[in-house]
Amino acid sequence: MLALERRNRILEKLQEEKRVVVSELSTQFGVSEETIRRDLEKLEKEGLATKSYGGAVLNENASIDMPFNVRKKANVAGKQRIAELVASRVHDGDHIILDASSTAVFIAKALKEKEHLTVITNSIEIIIELSDVSDWNIICSGGSLREGYLALVGPKTAEGISSFNADKAILSCKGIDLVKGVTDGNEMFSQAKQVMMQSAQETILAIDSSKFDRVAFSKLCSADAMDVVITDHKPDERWLSFFRRSHVECVYPEE
């Protein structure tokens, strides 16, 4: 196993269990404890984990971006529920924008039964996912490939997206807070998503329940700027009351 693959596996375990133990990882991966300590040191330098006595704990700062291959494996069941709810609101023939989030990849999978969709995206992963779908129009935004991400960003991305008028923009984020609004971990991603919102008649925010009451580095918009919020669990009454006052439709699975 390559060192990068092992570190990604450690990150997956951290996301699931919030902490890891050096001796257990050494046994699991069949490498020395010193090798595991070096892995944890690298993850700490990247801001993804914090070393502790005998192991490490997850850095849960909302502004820290996990590698895409790790993020797409987190809360799979929740993202699938969100994707099903989003798909129920997309109609044959719609023109939609999908952002470069791991949640949007699940949404793309859930939409494959639809007909004659036009999908505009800055996600390389989504373009690959939809490459075998017939009678759809898949449009790449253009832009610069962001290192460590399967996403296109920058001025060319904004220019490409802004040249279209879509029915729906379907976005995700790192956090949503009543005061700080909708936030993401990187200003270049926020800028792309702001253009997506401006280019669509309706904006759908698709987020799992862990994103509520979290604040990341870059502000995308106020919390009441979305038309619809779709999540995997019923938010608490404080949020439901806010959405009602703000005329934001909140959709979640029946429990």
Taking the C-alpha atoms of residue 178 and residue 240, their distance in angstroms, rounded to an integer, is 11
* Same domain for 89 and 44: no
* Same domain for 134 and 21: no
Taking the C-alpha atoms of residue 157 and residue 189, their distance in angstroms, rounded to an integer, is 10
| CATH number for 75 | 3.40.50.1360
Taking the C-alpha atoms of residue 58 and residue 88, their distance in angstroms, rounded to an integer, is 35
State mean pLDDT over 131-141. 95
| CATH number for 38 | 1.10.10.10
* Same domain for 244 and 157: yes
* Same domain for 43 and 164: no
* Same domain for 232 and 144: yes
Enter the tokens of residue 10: 């450690």
* Same domain for 172 and 107: yes
State the residue range of the domain holding 15.
3-60
Taking the C-alpha atoms of residue 125 and residue 136, their distance in angstroms, rounded to an integer, is 16
* Same domain for 210 and 92: yes
* Same domain for 15 and 133: no
pLDDT at 43: 87
Q: Of the candidates 37, 60, 83, which is a domain's last residue?
A: 60
Q: Residues with Cβ < 8 Å from 46, sequence gap 6 or more?
A: none
Q: pLDDT tens for residues 54-108? A: 999 887 765 556 555 555 556 788 899 999 999 999 999 999 999 999 999 999 9
Residue 16 or residue 89, greater confidence: 89
pLDDT at 253: 94
